[in-house]
């Protein structure tokens, strides 16, 4: 492919010939032919095949928004001739990253690295990777695609928060979780003793009656549940930056609960996004699901999601407008604790509104969340 410089040289050669030929200037004709010949030789130079072994790695493949992600490009010259003038071009989220490769002698390899943009969340295809080979004068270039695009998952940022535990004992011996530690919950039944059980939990009366060691089975009937609702209506935010902050807040809340092995349900205006039941590794699932959430003009108001969220435990509603505070206040009697988080810059000279039974938190930056979060 002829570059802009090559086409410019062709145009200049044609103009030079057109101006000099009518007056009999042989020098202009010679220069014009030399210019066109130079472009032709450059095109032939780039047509010569280059035998390359190209491999690209993206590390890490999952990264928090704003944190560095690096692509490692391994290039090996498997041909018999030295190569120079190689430029790698990678595309990531509409941004083209160009890296100039050092000259490659025969049977040698080089590794170069370059950073990828991670300012926005989402599944980001990296590639396809193009290797441009140009002539020494920049008059022609040949591009060859290598490999397939690699997916880079940019996830929300999070800050550690204390879990908003507000569960209540609703019955004396009801079963809420079998993962509760011994001694941390109420009596649920009897079972046979197995090696490793705490001897303090042996039920001696049943043991004397049956002749078999019997152990009290304990379960947690005060397991706190958390419902997190993210308002993803397009009209609730002034821009993408505010919505990104709202997603970071929702991710921080849900991950803090999931990392402590407590149940958490995550809703958006598009429906239930995740129901974590307190198992290991569910905080990673929270981040993966929230990585692909977008603003939607047709998303439902948070009140519709709250109608499907059940009752009890803690409710955390995240939005970019105080108009949604009324939705949190409308269901405050169904939950033990209700928190409303409004993201965005505060209005100058105006106090944030309040609602009975609702704790209002206003944050303009993710770092503010850790300091203003109720303890």
pLDDT tens, per residue, the chain with 375 residues: 676 777 777 787 778 777 777 777 777 777 777 777 776 766 665 666 678 888 999 999 999 999 999 999 999 998 888 888 788 888 887 788 888 888 888 889 999 999 998 988 999 889 888 887 766 666 766 778 887 888 999 999 999 998 776 544 444 444 344 444 444 456 667 888 888 888 888 889 999 999 989 988 765 555 678 999 999 999 999 999 999 999 999 999 999 999 888 889 999 988 889 988 877 888 999 999 999 999 988 888 888 888 877 777 899 999 999 999 998 999 888 888 999 999 988 877 677 888 898 999 999 999 889 888 887
In the sheet that holds 337-343, the strands lie side by side as 271-276, 264-268, 226-230, 314-319, 337-343, 358-363
What is the model's pLDDT at position 187?
66
Dihedral class, residue 301 (left if φ above 0, else alpha if ψ from -120 to 50, else beta): beta
What is the model's pLDDT at position 352?
80
What is the model's pLDDT at position 69?
93
What is the model's pLDDT at position 157?
94
Q: Where are the beta strands (DSSP E) in 67-205?
A: 69-77, 86-92, 95-100, 109-116, 122-126, 129-134, 141-146, 150-155, 186-192
Beta bridge partners of 130: 89, 145
Tokens of 176: 């809420």
Place of tokens 């290797």: 131
For residues 226 and 262, the answer to whether their CB atoms sit within 8 Å is yes
Q: What is the pTM of this model?
A: 0.73
What is the model's pLDDT at position 236?
92
Largest CA distance in the chain: 126
For residues 143 and 119, the answer to whether their CB atoms sit within 8 Å is no
Spatial distance between the Cα atoms of 183 and 219, rounded to a whole number of angstroms:
9
Cα 255-256-261 angle, rounded to 5 deg: 90
What is the model's pLDDT at position 221?
52
Helix, coil or strand: residue 80: coil
Spatial distance between the Cα atoms of 44 and 42, rounded to a whole number of angstroms:
5
């Amino acid at each position: 492919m002829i570059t802009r410089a090559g086409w410019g040289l062709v145009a200049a050669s044609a103009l030079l010939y057109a101006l000099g030929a009518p007056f009999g200037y042989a020098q202009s004709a010679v220069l014009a032919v030399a210019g066109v010949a130079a472009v032709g030789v450059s095109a032939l130079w780039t047509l010569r095949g280059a035998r390359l072994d190209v491999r690209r790695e993206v590390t890490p493949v999952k990264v928090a928004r704003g944190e560095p992600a690096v692509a490692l490009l391994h290039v090996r010259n498997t041909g018999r001739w030295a190569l120079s003038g190689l430029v790698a071009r990678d595309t990531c989220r509409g941004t083209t990253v160009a890296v100039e490769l050092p000259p490659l002698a025969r049977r040698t390899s080089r590794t170069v690295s370059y950073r990828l943009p991670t300012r926005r969340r989402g599944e980001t295809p990296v590639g396809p990777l193009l290797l441009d080979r140009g002539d020494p004068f920049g008059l022609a270039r040949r591009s060859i695609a290598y490999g397939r695009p690699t997916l880079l998952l940019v996830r929300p940022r999070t800050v550690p928060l204390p879990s908003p535990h507000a569960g209540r004992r609703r019955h004396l011996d009801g079963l809420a979780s079998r993962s509760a530690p011994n001694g941390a919950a109420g009596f649920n039944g009897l079972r046979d003793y197995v090696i490793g059980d705490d001897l303090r939990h042996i039920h001696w009366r049943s043991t004397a009656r049956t002749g078999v060691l019997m152990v009290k089975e304990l379960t947690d009937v005060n397991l706190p549940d958390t419902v997190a609702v993210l308002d993803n209506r397009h009209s609730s935010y002034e821009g993408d930056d505010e919505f990104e902050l709202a997603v970071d807040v929702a991710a921080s809340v849900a991950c803090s609960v999931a990392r402590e092995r407590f149940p958490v349900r995550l809703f958006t205006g598009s429906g239930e996004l995740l129901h974590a039941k307190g198992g290991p590794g569910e905080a990673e699932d929270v981040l993966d699901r929230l990585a692909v959430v977008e603003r939607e003009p047709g998303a439902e108001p948070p009140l519709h999601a709250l109608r499907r969220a059940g009752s009890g435990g803690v409710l955390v509603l995240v939005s970019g407008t105080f108009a949604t505070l009324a939705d949190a206040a409308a269901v405050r009697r169904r939950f033990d604790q209700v928190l409303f988080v409004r993201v965005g810059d505060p209005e100058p000279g105006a106090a944030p509104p309040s609602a009975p039974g609702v704790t209002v938190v206003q944050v303009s930056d993710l770092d503010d969340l850790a300091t203003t979060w109720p303890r």
